[in-house]
């Protein structure tokens, strides 16, 4: 299954809480059903995005790590 990405946020090099704050700002500008991809280097972003999705109701579709780069895909509710 291919996920269409509507917005990309590059949060590489940023530490907590900046990746999540940048994602929230991007989500606020998006329409319901659109997908956001966040790229980060902060390993804490994995937990942050899981908790954020549970609390906000947005769907965390994917969360991966490759060579220290964490990619999170969120569908806005």
1 lies in a domain? no
Number of structural domains in the chain: 1
- Packing angle between helix 45-56 and helix 18-28, nearest 10 degrees? 40
pTM higher than 0.85, yes or no? yes
- Catalytic (active site) residue 16: yes
15 lies in a domain? yes
pLDDT over 90 (residue 60)? yes
Q: pLDDT tens digits, residue range 13-34?
A: 999 999 999 999 999 999 999 9
Q: Which residue of the set 12, 14, 16, 41 is catalytic?
A: 16
pLDDT band per the 50, 70, 90 thresholds, residue 71: very high
Mean pLDDT of the chain: 96
CATH no. for residue 35? 3.30.110.40
23 within 8 A of 70, measured Cβ to Cβ: no
Q: How far apart are alpha carbons 17 and 22 in whole angstroms?
A: 9
pLDDT band per the 50, 70, 90 thresholds, residue 1: low
pLDDT band per the 50, 70, 90 thresholds, residue 45: very high
Structural domain boundaries, residue 60: 7-75
60 lies in a domain? yes
């Amino acid at each position: 299954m291919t996920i269409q990405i509507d917005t990309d946020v590059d949060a590489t090099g940023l530490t907590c809480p900046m990746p999540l704050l940048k994602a929230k700002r991007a989500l606020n500008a998006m329409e319901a059903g659109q997908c956001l991809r966040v790229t980060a280097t902060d390993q804490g972003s994995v937990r942050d995005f899981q908790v954020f999705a549970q609390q906000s109701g947005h769907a965390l579709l994917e969360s991966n790590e490759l060579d220290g780069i964490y990619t999170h895909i969120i569908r806005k509710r």
